[in-house]
Amino acid sequence: MGNADPSPEIEIERLRQALEAETCLRLETQRQLARANTEFEEFISLAAHNLREPLRDVAAFSQLLEESYAGRLDSDAAACLDRIRQGAASIQSVLAAVVDYWVTGAGGRRPSPTDMNAVLCQALLRADKQITGLGAVVTHDSLPRVYGDFEILAKALHHLIGNAIIFGGTPVPRVHISCKRVEPGWEISVQDNGPGIAPEFQDRIFGAFKRLHGREYPGDGLGLAFCKKAIEGLGGRISIESTLGSGSTFSFTLPAA
């Protein structure tokens, strides 16, 4: 006679053991990923810190040379020193943006009720130099409370407002921040009066270091990538509506508080 089929109790025990093994494996994988994220975050921060020190020296000694040899440098030498300082400043900006970009997606923050009016005030303070320098006009509606992170949202909104000003219309860049209810949350929009973005480029602009205009405009190439990562990390989504010649509107959604 053949072997008897396993009893139901034995089958249940086998399933229980298999489930326990799968759960342990999943938890261990999660722990390893969390540990790797923490280690890489520390590496990025330390690397950026160690790179900033020599960059500060490059900028400082370039300025010292220019001041010490004032009147004795020809126009070409002065232009070279100026390019060196600009390059050092640009690298420092990129390093700061890379750290921001990585830390934003590394976890550790939990969404909480956040007043978007306070977030907007902080973003406008950070953009004050741009607004004043380019004579931009920024208007806004009263904004809602959402589930989010104050600091991350202030950075994201600052990036969106800054982009709207830089690529705004002439002679006066005009930016309007508005909101509307979209179940189960809110949609915040930043509208500009710039030249707009062609449809074939709209999908790529949220990628890291994706530039539509080369380096003739300021920026580190990570602003919109940071916004996408930040908003999606808070449970929302970000999108763009744009027509050539009619400006652009960047919108993001977040759960209502």
Q: What is the pLDDT of residue 165?
A: 94
Q: Please indicate whether residue 29 or residue 104 has the higher confidence score (pLDDT).
A: 29
Lowest mean pLDDT among 67-71, 77-81, 103-107, 128-132: 103-107
Q: What is the pLDDT of residue 200?
A: 80
Residue 159: is it exposed, middle or buried by C-beta count within 10 angstroms (0-12/13-18/19+)? buried
Nearest to 236 by CA among 244, 246, 227: 227
Alpha helix segments (H runs only) across the chain: 8-68, 75-104, 116-126, 128-134, 150-166, 223-233
**pLDDT tops 60 at residue 1:** no
pTM of the model: 0.69
Q: What is the pLDDT of residue 219?
A: 55
Give the whole-angstrom CA distance, residue 154 versus residue 57. 31
Digit-coded pLDDT (tens) for 148-175:
999 999 999 999 999 999 888 888 999 9
If pLDDT is split at 50, 70 and 90, which confidence band does 209 have? low
